[in-house]
């Protein structure tokens, strides 16, 4: 792997920031591209994540469509509460969240479980300096992502896992952050700052 997994996770974070600054006309094609990439490379994981997030997506749509001030839709479509601006806001937020899930699926497909843990572990290094156990935090984050992407059990079933199942060994790839990682991350950060300043 040319870059450390932490660099890919940083790029993912940069894309999340960019999504927040995009207007609908730019967000539509970018979101479509992200979702097509996720479907092509990891459609099972992407659809599983969408299924797990369906109630959040539905709630966002309803809240933004009905609680955003603006001009009501033409009867009977407005139902007395749905506005044009609300529908646009609902579409924007739904696209942002769906794009984020698509990028998560893409990252999982491109890197794999161990590499993602290694990336999270690297980014949590500052927490070690102030006394936090970054190993435990990285592991818990990974278990959460595993649940979102593949496991079909309900969240409360994880509270009662057998000891041998809840303590699976995990090995991390031995990788160091190199000059290429610094250059790549600096470039991504610069793009975010420039795009944010012009949006």
What pLDDT does 74 receive?
Answer: 77
Angle at alpha carbon of residue 144, lines to 38 and 36, rounded to 5°: 5
Gap between the terminal Cα atoms of the chain: 34
What pLDDT does 71 receive?
Answer: 81
Residue 98 confidence (pLDDT) above 90: yes
The string of DSSP letters for 42-66 reads: HHHHHHHHHHHTHHHHHHHHHHHHH
> What digits encode the pLDDT tens for the residues 2-51?
788 888 888 888 888 888 888 888 889 999 999 998 898 888 888 888 88
Q: Which run of H or of E encompasses 163?
A: helix 163-166
What pLDDT does 157 receive?
Answer: 56
What pLDDT does 77 receive?
Answer: 65
Does 161 or 121 have the greater pLDDT score?
A: 121
C-alpha distances (whole Å) from 189 to each of 18, 76, 92, 96, 162 are 10, 47, 23, 19, 43
CA pair distance 61, 107, nearest whole angstrom = 26
Helix residue ranges, H only, 53-156: 54-67, 84-111, 113-123, 125-129, 134-149
What residue has token string 């659809």? 47
Query: Three-class SS of residue 80?
Result: coil
Which of these ranges, 53-57, 94-98, 164-168, 171-175, has the smallest mean pLDDT?
164-168
Which residues, at least 6 apart from 85, have a Cβ–Cβ distance to it below 8 Å?
Answer: 68, 69, 70, 71
Domain ranges within the chain, ordered by starting residue = 5-198
> What digits encode the pLDDT tens for the residues 150-186?
545 555 555 554 544 444 555 655 677 788 888 888 9
Does 8 or 134 have the greater pLDDT score?
A: 8
CA pair distance 27, 91, nearest whole angstrom = 10
Residue 67 confidence (pLDDT) above 60: yes
CA pair distance 199, 195, nearest whole angstrom = 6
What residue has token string 């207007």? 23
């Amino acid at each position: 792997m040319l870059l450390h997994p932490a660099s890919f996770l940083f790029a993912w974070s940069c894309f999340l920031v960019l999504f927040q600054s995009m207007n609908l006309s730019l967000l539509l094609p970018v979101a479509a591209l992200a979702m097509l990439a996720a479907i092509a490379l990891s459609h099972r994981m992407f659809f599983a994540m969408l299924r797990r997030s369906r109630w959040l997506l539905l709630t966002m749509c309803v809240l933004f469509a009905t609680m955003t001030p603006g001009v009501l839709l033409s009867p009977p479509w407005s139902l007395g509460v749905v506005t044009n601006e609300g529908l646009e806001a609902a579409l924007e937020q739904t696209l942002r969240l769906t794009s984020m899930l698509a990028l998560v699926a893409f990252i999982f497909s491109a890197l794999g479980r161990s590499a993602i843990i290694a990336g999270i572990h690297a980014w949590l290094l500052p927490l070690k300096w102030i006394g936090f156990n970054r190993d435990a935090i990285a592991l818990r984050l990974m278990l959460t992502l595993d649940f979102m992407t593949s496991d079909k059990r309900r969240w409360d079933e994880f509270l009662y896992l057998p000891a041998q199942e809840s303590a699976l060994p995990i090995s991390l790839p031995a990788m160091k952050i190199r000059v290429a990682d610094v250059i790549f991350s600096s470039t991504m950060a610069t793009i975010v700052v420039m795009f944010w300043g012009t949006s």
